[in-house]
Structure 1
């Protein structure tokens, strides 16, 4: 159980780190340039989606959907809370400084990127037939095919 939560914590920390790095790049590299800041934000969301796609692909091979989806949801929830409330403070901004619209836009964009990443990772895994359920069904079919038929005598 301890290893499970450690992996969730490391994933949440990685997602949070990606956001902090993007905020620092925007602050020090592109201060005042909104188009460059939008591009950096887009790259950040793509990186977050790719990280979650890779984790869904990796964890989906060994674990059932309910288990890895819960782990990913917990990691995304913690990372989202840190991203919205703590990350702006680290770069010297107010989390609510842009108003309610910007605050909730951050949340929806983050959840959209996370959901898209998880969906892409799981769909690729399922399409390749490497997910936990497909592998279970394959083992079951092989087991049933290996047993000889019982002869019924009357």
Structure 2
């Protein structure tokens, strides 16, 4: 159980770190008036977060059933979302609610959309290749049933 929470924590910290790095680059690398560069970097951050979760879904989906790793990913995304929305702005000297309620909730929806798309992409690719846990279990079952010869029944 401890190892499971450790994996969740590492994933949450990795997602949070991607956001903090993007915020620091926006803060120190660009002028405050250059919103186009900030938007491009934010888009790149969401793509990196989605790519991380696609890889995680692909790797974890091979070893465990979807319900088990899905709950772990959801917990990590929830923790990372709270850290990203409430703590990350404080690290770069901003108020989490400075942009108003619209900006605050837009961050949440964009983050959930990026993470959901990443997980979905990774799992759909895994399933399409037939490498997911369920497909492998069914494949082993079919091989086992076809390998055993049929036992004759005495009457």
TM-score by length of 2: 0.98
Q: Which runs of 4+ in 1 moved over 4 A?
A: none
RMSD: 0.6
Distance 1:85 1:70 in 2: 22
Q: Does 1:51 align with 2:83?
A: no
Alignment match, 1:114: 115
Gaps spanning 5+ residues in structure 2: where? Answer: none
Alignment match, 1:102: 103
Distance 1:63 1:77 in 2: 20
* CA-to-aligned-CA distance 1:111-150 (integer Å, 9 cap, x gap): 0000000000000000110000000000000000011112
Distance 2:64 2:153 in 1: 39
Secondary structure of the structure 2 residue equivalent to 1:111: helix
Gaps spanning 5+ residues in structure 1: where? Answer: none
Alignment match, 2:91: 90
Distance 1:85 1:103 in 2: 9
Alignment match, 1:80: 81
Cα distance, 1:151 vs structure 2: 1.7
